[in-house]
Chains A and B, each alone.
Chain A
Amino acid sequence: MEKSEVLEKLNVIFKDTLENDDLCINYATTAKDVDEWDSLNHIQLVVDIEKSFNIRFKSTEIHSWNNVGEMIDSIMAKTQ
């Protein structure tokens, strides 16, 4: 899967989980940029991403990403 495809799929998950249809994320997006993306919803995002890509993140990864791009790198490393 290309990085851009992962971003696209991720955007759908973000919209759904954060319940914001107008959301448009890019590689540089951080939690600070999105109102609904608080620490609680972050957990739900992680679980929804795991389910959708059929992967499991390591506990230390969950809070290691600085932006969406790094999140995608993690996902891609597991789906290669």
Chain B
Amino acid sequence: MTKDFSVLKKNLKKDFSGLKEVKVALLGDTATQFLVQGIRATGFDYGFDLQIYEADFNQIEQEVFDPSSNLYAYQPDVVIIFKSSHKLLSQYNKLSANKYNNLAGNELMTIESLITQITKRINSNIIFFNYPEINDSVFGNYANKSATSFLYQLRKLNYELMNLAIKYPNFHLLDISALQSQLSKSVLFHPSVYINSDMVLSIAGLPYVAARTLDLIGAMYGKFIKCVVLDLDNTLWGGIIGDDGLENIQLGSLGIGKAFTEFQYWLKKLKNRGIILTVCSKNTEHVAKEPFERHPDMVLHLDDIAVFVANWDNKADNIHLIQKTLNIGFDSMVFLDDNPFERNLVKESIPQLCVPELPEDPAEYLEYLYTLNLFETVSVSAEDAERTKQYQIEAQRTAIQQSFVNEDDYLKSLNMLSLVEPFNKFNTPRVAQLTQRSNQFNLRTIRYNEAEVEALTQSHTAFTFSFTLEDKFGDNGLICVIILKKEDEDTLFIDTWCMSCRVLKRKMEHFTLNTIVDCARLKGFAYIKGEYLPTAKNAMVKDHYANLGFEQCNGHWLLNISQYQNKDCFIKNKN
């Protein structure tokens, strides 16, 4: 999947217009010209027009600590900091022997002050490359036993960086050290190029580093995989359930069965971290479900699967069905199937879908999938783990709904409750995540990271609301985020209105608007102003404000609240 650098570079001459623009600053302590080209070129393939400011060579501290630097004048959305292991090593080399064991600690203090300085001055995400290992072999294996060895200091630094990443929500690590383990050092590092040009990344390794960088930037802007669509026969287990029967499919600790079992454990971990698992299989439904219900070595069970589709129809049609049920974009789904014919058919019919070319040998599935880094994310919230359950409950609701003739009767029967709260430290991760993930029901698609969400809670001119929604079937968790900003004495502007598509058609919009109007009245505003900024994905809400009774006015939407009457809805306030 990763292109050669010379092929990648041809992207630079392509037409970037219409792609999502993101301002990036790259600060490095080695020569970064090719890295800049690689990142911009890779951005094209990810749908981004990255405008990259490349700081002068080895000016990281100067740029960050000088408030009048070009970095701050540029106001980047993303700051990439690339400090190299080689520069770290030369720093170590120059220390007197009794200072060796201070290297990691000192470097960490510098890095933390870089983070706090940047965060103080601009609202941006920071991507920091961790340190690929250089074993200078001065101590042999004893390096692991001596705090003064370079290897010990480097590993300590990498470990402590993870703690920094936990501490600062807008600070993200790009794990170039793990990438080096995957590719090997001889691929990622080219000694003669380093000596002649001071570039520490080989040309062969650049496309990989650039791809990982874009994985992160993509996740910051809502591009990531949310759902796995799984084939069954020879993908989840060895053999064909319909032909071989329950006793003869391969699973468990023997032979090739081990490969499938380990693959299922991996899927289970994905599910636990919030990736939705679905099944799309050419099978008779009850036959396909049998292993899930009865095979002792199955790791995955039916309650791990949000949508289970087994029939003899075309797989592309079935994936359309799954997509419709979950209400997510095809570009946030990945399809895993051992059969190249099915993969091609699906790929041709749904080009946005990610369809990895699984190796022929099931023993290689996992190693191959690991290298793809399919499941990037910049935030994880407690609710993620509950997601599969929520989609299953949604399927139950749909079934009940069909028994009601009248929509309102159905909504009434749900006994819906919503907890309305301003942003606080408990809901901050989920609020940030919702602004980053909602693509469809999102009026202006402004993304907020956790630090920015926190900043809003301190603001005197911004009012924030988060909404949960629960009903008799279960709790959907936090599903709607509103950010209001005072525009002038009379007008309150809806900066952000985004909602999870899980709760469409519940009149949640009515409940939300009632809440906004209450707030506006309380604070003495006369008008509420809304805006719709179209994207490739949010056509669903193009008439949102018109439907709610706002009047069009100079490209905006205005609601005069003196005439507003509370909209009907069947949701009660839980507070």
Contact = CB atoms under 8 A, between A and B. Distances in A.
A44 B197 CA distance: 11
Contacts of B91: none
A18 B455 CA distance: 47
Interface string B184-214: 0000001111011101001110000000000
Contacts of B507: none
Contact of A56 (B34, B192, B195, B204): B192
B190 A47 contact: yes
Interface of A is mostly: helix
B10 A19 contact: yes
Interface in B351-380: none
A22 to B, nearest CB: 16
Interface size class of B (residues with CB under 8 A): 10 to 19
User: Main secondary structure on chain B at its contact with chain A?
Assistant: helix
A32 interface: no
Contact of A40 (B34, B191, B204): B34
- Identify the interface centre among B9, B191, B197, B199: most chain A CB within 10 Å of its CB: B197
Contact of A19 (B9, B195, B202, B204): B9
A40 B193 CA distance: 10
Interface residues of A, number: 17
Contact of B6 (A17, A43, A58, A63): A17
A49 to B, nearest CB: 12
Nearest to B195: A59
B203 A44 contact: yes
A21 interface: no
A44 B196 contact: no
A43 B10 contact: no
A19 B13 CA distance: 10
A43 B197 contact: yes
Nearest to B7: A16
Interface string A35-48: 00001100110111
Interface string B5-23: 1100110010000000000
A76 interface: no
Interface of A: 16-17, 19, 39-40, 43-44, 46-48, 51, 56-59, 62-63
Q: Which 3 A-B pairs have the closest CB atoms?
A: A59-B192, A59-B195, A47-B203
21 contacts: A16-B6, A19-B9, A19-B10, A40-B33, A43-B34, A43-B196, A43-B199, A44-B5, A44-B6, A46-B192, A47-B190, A47-B193, A47-B202, A47-B203, A47-B204, A48-B6, A56-B192, A58-B192, A59-B192, A59-B195, A63-B196
